[in-house]
A = this chain, B = another copy of it.
Amino acid sequence: MSTNYPWHWIIEWSTPGTAHMHAVNKVYAFGQSKFQKWIIVDYVDLGKALVIDGKIQSSLYDEFVYHESLVHPAMILNGNPKKVLILGGGEGATAREALRFKSVEKVIMVDIDDQVVEVCKKYLPEWHQYSFYNSKVKVIIDDAEHYIDNTDEKFDVIISDLVDPEEAGPAVRLYTREFYNKIVNKLEKNGIFVTQSTSPVLTPTVHAVIFNTIKSVFKYATSYYSYIRSFEGIWGFVIASNDINVENVKNLDVDNMINKMAEGKNRYYDNESHAHMFNVPKFIRNILEKEKRVSTLSNPIYLPA
């Protein structure tokens, strides 16, 4: 090499004309499961990261932003979460955050890919903090829908931490109205459902349709947003409930509730971050206003859209 430029790169394509390049410092492990190709790398800019099918899942740089954003609003809006269901969540960090809530008695994590779960156990201790081994946690290797169809359990909080609905991937049907209708039936009274919902700027249509679909199923639903540098943009979440009004919660006293309900300290989610997350930039509100479609099994939304 005639330069000292980095030579090992992962190029994450956001659109056919947009990509983000990250230089790889080191490879921890690499493999191909039944479902997906995964690699755990050390990025020059983001540190250790899990990449599945060319898409970063999270990095040490800001996994806490993603996982606190995903877990905490649902938990405090529920107020007293005892049983938590996590769909996906292979890194174990979603379970880690759920376990911080003192009321939690049981966390069930359903992930389709046992190879990825094993790899996360081994290589991502900074993420899971041994939550896999916590006696309150049960890991089930199963398709999320198959699990939902066959369980008798109900939950206070259901967290969907699934991969994006890629056309060729396994998750498209897990973002449809039919699936969300099944979710409703697995929620306890005052139950909350929350899901990551792709980026409102990089994949605005998919994001808006996920929001619409959930909104068409639940009585209350709202979206909120965190900037996650690892994902190269603002990331969307949709939170919903049939009993708790999750809308118009911009001024929630998060600090107080986290302080009462959870152990340890938050690294991201607090009053001011909450206000940032739930006050939505106008360009995102515009996207939501324009898109009317919902995703159904017969007419699903998926990436690229």
Report which A residues bind B (CB closer than 8 A): 1-23, 25-27, 30, 32, 39, 43-45, 51, 53-55, 62, 65, 166, 168, 201-203, 226-227, 229, 232-234, 250, 266-270, 272-273, 275-276, 279-283, 285, 303-304
Contacts and interface: CB of A to CB of B under 8 A. Distances in A.
Nearest to A23: B17
A233 B229 contact: yes
Nearest to A20: B20
A30 B4 CA distance: 19
A272 B6 CA distance: 40
Q: Which of A2, A14, A53 has the most CB of B within 10 A?
A: A2
Contact of A16 (B2, B201, B269): B2
Main SS of chain A's interface residues? mixed
Contacts of A32: 26
A283 B280 CA distance: 18
B3 A16 contact: yes
Contacts of A166: 1
Contact of A62 (B3, B23, B283): B283
Contact of A18 (B45, B168, B281): B45
A51 B39 CA distance: 18
A30 B30 CA distance: 10
Given A1-B54, A2-B14, A26-B32, 17 more contacts: A5-B5, A6-B11, A6-B16, A7-B11, A7-B13, A9-B9, A14-B45, A17-B23, A18-B20, A30-B30, A62-B283, A201-B227, A201-B229, A229-B233, A232-B232, A266-B282, A276-B279
Contact of A65 (B13, B51, B270, B283): B283
8 contacts: A1-B53, A2-B304, A5-B16, A7-B53, A7-B55, A17-B23, A62-B283, A268-B281
A38 B45 CA distance: 20
A85 to B, nearest CB: 27
B23 A21 contact: no
Contact of A281 (B10, B15, B27, B226): B226
Contacts of A19: 5, 20-21
Given A20-B20, A26-B30, A166-B1, A8 B54 contact: yes
